[in-house]
């Protein structure tokens, strides 16, 4: 799921309004995830059969679902689980991938070759297919979806972190540390790992959006978060049977997923541009 480094041009720097909107959108998502009751108009699991499939109204801004539950409130409360899956998967992938990649670069040639051949094999498979294979072993659910998406993303981070670590290892300040008698462990934790991480973290911001989209896709297929828990992908699945009559059941959760993914991509592209423009730093 990791994107390939590309040159950054002037249009990225000019995209300030989009960047501001992206940060505002991410801030609202963070607020909804942390304190959903501040934004929601009702409890997400309140059932009201008399109001089932109600249209958009001031009392129900997004309408209601087949059980009379307020769709807007479920979208708000679903932010927490959706973000936890996306952030959790990306955090696990970055942690494991960065450590393995930097270790491969710091180890001998034989270990490096072994790591890279395994990584190449895993990268030959689509990320979503790898996630499906992991879920087939672990079973459906939010936690297993997080683990599956992390496993699918690790190979990309291994290759990215290894490449950054090789650049750092050949730098002047690492050579100076070797001349000064610093231990391999000290050089690894004091120079290589800290300076290889920033570009990796910039890509992680983009991959949060990818993980959000993938988790929504898996939940839509019934493999992610399970009903009645509010989650964007499962809400899309629940509303597809009513698309002709009550389009808000699928359109509004879909719009929120799309907006969240775009916001992550915009912020991630800006962070990537900053690191690419600055180059690999040193301490």
Please provide residue 15's backbone torsions phi and psi, each rounded to the nearest 5 degrees.
-85, 45
Q: Rounded CA gap, 46 and 103, in Å?
A: 51
* 4, 44, 122 from 135: Cα distances, Å: 26, 27, 16
Number of domains present in the structure of the chain: 1
In a domain? residue 5: no
Task: Check if the beta carbon of residue 200 is closer than 8 Å to that of residue 100.
Answer: no
Phi (first) and psi of residue 157, to 5 degrees:
-70, -30
Q: Is 283 a member of any domain? A: no
Residue 4 within a domain? no
**228: cis peptide before it, omega within 30°?**
yes
Q: Is 183 left (phi over 0), alpha (psi -120 to 50) or beta?
A: beta
Helix (H) or strand (E) holding 273: helix 248-278
Q: What is the CA radius of gyration of the chain?
A: 22
**What is the CATH number for 92?**
1.10.3720.10
70 three-class SS: strand
In a domain, 251, yes or no: yes
Q: What range does the domain containing 194 cover? A: 10-51+60-278
Q: Determine, yes or no, domain membership for 3.
A: no
Q: What is the pLDDT along the chain (283 residues), one digit of tens a residue?
A: 544 444 444 444 455 788 999 999 999 999 999 999 999 988 888 898 888 888 888 888 998 989 999 999 999 999 999 999 999 999 999 999 988 888 887 777 888 888 889 998 988 988 889 999 999 999 999 999 999 999 999 999 998 888 887 777 666 666 666 667 666 666 666 666 677 777 788 788 888 999 999 999 999 998 988 888 899 999 999 888 888 888 889 999 999 999 999 999 999 888 888 776 555 444 4
User: Taking the complete model, does pTM exceed 0.85, yes or no?
Assistant: no
Query: Is residue 2 one of the residues assigned to a domain?
Result: no
Domain membership of residue 140 (yes or no) is yes
- Are 69 and 46 in contact, with CB atoms under 8 Å apart? yes
């Amino acid at each position: 799921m990791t994107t390939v480094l590309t040159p950054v041009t002037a249009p990225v720097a000019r995209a300030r309004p989009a960047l501001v909107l992206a940060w505002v959108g991410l801030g609202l998502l963070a607020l909804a995830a942390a304190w959903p009751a501040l934004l929601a108009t009702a409890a997400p699991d309140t059932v009201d059969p008399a109001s089932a499939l109600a249209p958009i109204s001031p009392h129900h801004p997004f309408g209601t679902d087949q059980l009379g539950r307020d769709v807007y409130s479920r979208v708000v409360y679903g932010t927490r689980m959706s973000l936890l899956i996306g952030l959790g998967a990306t955090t696990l992938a970055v942690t494991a991938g960065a450590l393995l990649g930097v270790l491969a670069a710091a180890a001998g040639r034989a270990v490096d070759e072994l790591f890279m051949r395994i990584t190449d094999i895993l990268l030959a498979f689509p990320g979503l297919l790898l996630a499906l294979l992991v879920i087939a072993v672990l079973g459906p659910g939010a936690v297993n979806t997080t683990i599956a998406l992390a496993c699918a993303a690790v190979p990309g981070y291994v290759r990215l972190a290894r490449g950054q670590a090789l650049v750092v290892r050949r730098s002047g300040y690492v050579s100076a540390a070797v001349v000064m008698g610093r231990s391999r462990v000290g050089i690894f934790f004091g120079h290589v790992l800290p300076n290889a991480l920033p570009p990796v973290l910039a890509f992680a911001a983009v991959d949060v959006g990818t993980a959000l989209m993938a988790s929504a896709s898996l939940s839509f297929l019934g493999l992610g978060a399970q009903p009645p828990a509010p989650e964007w992908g499962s809400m899309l699945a629940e509303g597809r049977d009513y698309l002709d009559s009550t389009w808000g059941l699928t359109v509004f959760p879909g719009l929120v997923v799309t907006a969240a993914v775009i916001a992550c991509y915009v912020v991630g592209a800006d962070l990537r541009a900053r690191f690419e423009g600055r180059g690999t730093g040193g301490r």
